[in-house]
Structure 1
Amino acid sequence: MKLPLRGGCQCGAIRYEISKQPLTLYCCHCTTCQQQSSSAFGLSMLVERDGFRFTQGAPSAFSIPTDSKSNKLGLFCDKCGTRIANDTEGRPALSLKAGSLDDRARLRPVGHIWVKSAQDWMAFEDDTLIYEGPPDDSYYALMERWTAQELTDKPTS
């Protein structure tokens, strides 16, 4: 992906920039992500903290428990309510809500986590990684698959 990546909330009060390549992109089907996104799953992009910065505004935050029993801060715009990212304790990266990126055209998730909570109608592609709960390998397989996909995919423009 061509850097920097930029994004923000729906009303424009919060803007951010990513200066390092994302680590991975996956769909999370946990009940927390379903509720937070008001959808069947959340689209999450792991980004290194030192490669992410807010360029306009400051998000509000609230603490919520997760299905895996860790503490998570939800970072959101207090004007329009858009969730920007999740910051889970003990993780070296932020989980960016990829729908908040300005350019989402080439986003293709490499896996699905917490599929035991997935909607019954959800179908999964054969070439994606599937986890019943949280990844048992600390997201390494998802990161490796993402890197391989990024190396083989060519920009369409």
Structure 2
Amino acid sequence: MKPPRLPLTGACRCGQVRVEISAPPLITAACHCRGCQSMSSSAFSLTAIMPADGFRVTAGTPVIGGLHGPDLHHFFCPHCMTWMFTRVVGFDGFVNVRPTLLDDHDWFVPFIETMTKEKLPWAETPARHRFEGFPPMEDFERLIAEYATAGEA
């Protein structure tokens, strides 16, 4: 895995909402849950979990869409409706960014897969770790540390 060159910039499909990332991702993932399948219109969604203080919207004003639940806030471009990032209530120090919206996303490889019990049988990724659900919270520190050193190998 090659580390991304910072800062990273990106935009929604129409370009009206732009973002900038100034910190390296903590970990990358592919989520196979039915919700992500529906929202991405694909077999899974891709996520780069970023420190919140290393992420900012630089143009436009995204709107909450998708589930509209109390715990997940999915942000979309109000014009083209591209799903751009997610904030999870209770995890205020993190933001989940859709990495393929970044101008340079060649560095991205999912390190973990989540919700594999709901994955389509043909959907495969090169992730190093797979979880039938979400990883237990006590595993995240170890996974983040492993991801941080994976690019050095």
Note whether the superposition's TM-score is higher than 0.5: yes
C-alpha distance in 2 between matches for 1:60 and 1:72: 13
Q: Which residue of 2 aligns with 1:53?
A: 56
Q: Which residue of 2 aligns with 1:16?
A: 19
Residue 151 of structure 1 and its aligned partner are, at CA, apart by 2.3
Q: Which residue of 1 aligns with 2:31?
A: 28
Among the aligned pairs, what percent are the same residue? 31
1:106 maps onto 2:107 in alignment: yes
Q: Which residue of 2 aligns with 1:115?
A: 116
Residue 114 of structure 1 and its aligned partner are, at CA, apart by 0.6
Q: Which residue of 2 aligns with 1:74?
A: 74
The answer for unaligned runs of 5 or more in structure 2 is none
Q: Which residue of 1 aligns with 2:88?
A: 88
Residue 121 of structure 1 and its aligned partner are, at CA, apart by 1.5
Residue 141 of structure 1 and its aligned partner are, at CA, apart by 3.6
Number of residues paired by the alignment?
148
Residue 107 of structure 1 and its aligned partner are, at CA, apart by 1.0
CA contact (8 A) 2:68 2:74 kept: no
Two-structure CA RMSD over aligned residues (Å)? 1.8
Q: Which residue of 1 aligns with 2:132?
A: 132
* Deviation readout 1:75-121 (Å, 9 max, x if unpaired): 00011111110111111301111111111112111110110111011
C-alpha distance in 1 between matches for 2:18 and 2:125: 32
Structure 1 pair 65–11 and aligned structure 2 pair: CA distance change class (3 A): closer
CA contact (8 A) 1:45 1:95 kept: yes
The answer for unaligned runs of 5 or more in structure 1 is 153-157
Identify the range of structure 1 (56-65 vs 9-18) with the bigger mean alpha-carbon deviation: 56-65
Q: In structure 2, which of residues 8, 22, 42 is the aligned counterpart of residue 5 of structure 1?
A: 8
C-alpha distance in 2 between matches for 1:124 and 1:21: 21
Residue 63 of structure 1 and its aligned partner are, at CA, apart by 6.4
C-alpha distance in 1 between matches for 2:44 and 2:143: 17
Give the secondary-structure state (helix, strand or coil) at the position aligned to 1:64. coil
* Deviation readout 1:20-73 (Å, 9 max, x if unpaired): 11111110111111111000000000011111111111101136277xxx7211
C-alpha distance in 2 between matches for 1:124 and 1:103: 20
